[in-house]
Amino acid sequence: MNKELEKFCFQGLSFFGRTNRMISHEFKNIFAIISETLGLLDELMAMSESGAKLPPGKLKSLSESVLEEIGRANEVARNMNAFAHSVDECAFEVDVNQVVELMINISKFSSASKNINIHFNKKSSCMIYTVPFFLENLIYQLIDFSMLHPGDDHKLEISVEKKNQHVEMIFFGIDKNLSEPFPPKPIKSIAQALLVKIFQPISGVIHMVVPDHIEA
Amino acid sequence: MKILLVDDEEKFISSLAERLEIRGIDSDWATCGDEAISKVKENSYDVAVLDIKMPGLSGLELKGKLETIDEKLKFIFVTGHGSEEDYVAGCKEGCFYIIKPFKIDDLVEKLKETMAF
Euclidean distance between CA atoms A120 and A157, whole angstroms? 6
Nearest Cα to Cα of residue A186 among A138, A133, A135: A138
Give A114-167 as a DSSP string.
Answer: GGSEEEEE--S--EEEE-HHHHHHHHHHHHHHHHHSB-TT-EEEEEEEE-SSEE
Cβ separation B11–A69 shorter than 8 A: yes
Which CATH architecture fits B2-116?
3-Layer(aba) Sandwich (3.40)
For B72-91, what is each residue's pLDDT tens digit?
A: 999 999 887 656 566 666 56
Euclidean distance between CA atoms A55 and A114, whole angstroms? 33
Instruction: Write the residue in A25, A33, A115 that is nearest to B55 by C-beta.
Output: A115
Report the DSSP pairing between strands A197-198 and A205-211: antiparallel
For residue B8, give Cα distances in angstroms to A68, B53, B108: 17, 9, 21
Closest residue of chain B to A40, computed from CA coordinates: B19
This prediction's pTM:
0.86
For A112-135, what is each residue's pLDDT tens digit?
A: 666 788 999 887 889 999 999 999
Report the DSSP pairing between strands B26-30 and B2-6: parallel
Residue ranges of chain B whose CB lies within 8 Å of a chain A CB: 8-9, 11-12, 15-16, 18-19, 22, 53-56, 58, 80-82, 100-102, 104
The C-alpha of B56 sits at a distance from chain A's nearest C-alpha, in angstroms, of: 7
Residue A171: the pLDDT is 96
Euclidean distance between CA atoms A100 and A132, whole angstroms? 11
Q: What average pLDDT does chain A have?
A: 91
B41-57: buried (b, 16+ CB within 10 Å) or exposed (e) per residue?
Answer: eeeebbbbbbbbbbbeb
For A136-166, what is each residue's pLDDT tens digit?
A: 999 999 999 998 899 999 899 999 999 988 9
Confidence of residue A213 (pLDDT cuts 50, 70, 90): very high
Chain A residues close to B32, C-beta within 8 Å: none
DSSP symbol at A55: P
